[in-house]
Structure 1
């Protein structure tokens, strides 16, 4: 539940916490734009859910 909240507030932080440094950097770049915030959030949620199920 906490990870989902982090995905919405700071998707790049969720990537860093999962050990995906390069994806986290790309996520920061997306998150800097208002339009890119939504795809970054969705991307972080997908990564988090995949890690949770594996």
Structure 2
């Protein structure tokens, strides 16, 4: 999460979203754009974690029904 706030573009690139990382870097180049880029990266990271958690829950429910 700290990486998403300090270096938002790098947060995307590390997770394999290179084009999104480049777009974020362009936004981040300006000081005013840094805040929206950091928010965008943090929200994206949270959404990715929530999606992973939901996939694991769905898999566990399906396995328990067998």
Q: TM-score range by the shorter chain?
A: 0.7 to 0.9
Unpaired segments ≥5 residues, structure 1 = none
Higher RCO, 1 vs 2 (CA within 8 Å, ≥6 residues apart): 1
Please report the TM-score for the alignment, with normalisation by the length of structure 2.
Answer: 0.73
Aligned-residue Cα RMSD (Å) equals: 0.7
List structure 1 runs of 4+ shifted beyond 6 angstroms. none
The higher radius of gyration belongs to 2
Gaps of 5+ in 2: 52-66
2:30 is equivalent to residue 33 of structure 1? yes
| Displacement after TM superposition at 1:21 (Å) | 0.8
